[in-house]
Amino acid sequence: GWNSGRTRMVADEFAAEGYLVVVPRSFKTTRNGGTDGDGLDHSFTFEANGAEFGPWLKEASPVEFVSASIAKAVAFVKSRGAAKIGVVGCCWGVWAGTLASTLHPEIAAGVGFHPSIGVEQMLTGKPPVELVKQAQCPWYYM
């Protein structure tokens, strides 16, 4: 989720260097209230709850909802004077960032670590490579 240690750490490091950082809440639903109102709750583990994950992710990530959340974030940074936007994502965020880069030419580059770009198949029924081909900027997937 947006407030996980990894996501928060990366956002804080960029902000400390003077970059405008936005971490949008892009899930439509949460599991048991999520963490700070977003994503999965702290009690979730794949060992105990793994079977719930796929169905929850499909419910939480409709492309139209995620796209609208991203559009709001892009509009916000543009209102602050950004002409070029960089996207950094981890796991599901790499899918969301890649989706964003297909919709917004202002996104100039993307970096994704621990990419779960394969959720494209689960969420839309389309091969992930098709989404990647539609990106309007270079991406570095790690």
pLDDT for 92-135, tens place per residue?
Answer: 999 999 999 999 999 999 999 989 999 999 999 999 999 999 99
80 contacts 100 by C-beta, under 8 angstroms: no
Task: Kindly give the residue spans of alpha helices, DSSP state H, lying in 80-115.
Answer: 92-103
Taken in order 70, 24, 33, 95, the sign of the CA dihedral is positive
DSSP characters over 9-75: HHHHHHHHTT---------SS-STTTBTTBSS-TT--HHHHHHHHHHHHHHH--HHHHHHHHHHHHH
pTM beyond 0.85: the answer is yes
Question: Does pLDDT of 1 surpass 60?
Answer: no
Mean pLDDT of 29-44: 85
pLDDT, residue 67, reads 96
What are the structure tokens assigned to 72, written together? 């709001």
pLDDT tens by residue, 37-61 = 788 888 889 999 999 999 999 999 9
**Consecutive H or E run containing 110:** strand 107-115
Question: Does pLDDT of 3 surpass 80?
Answer: no
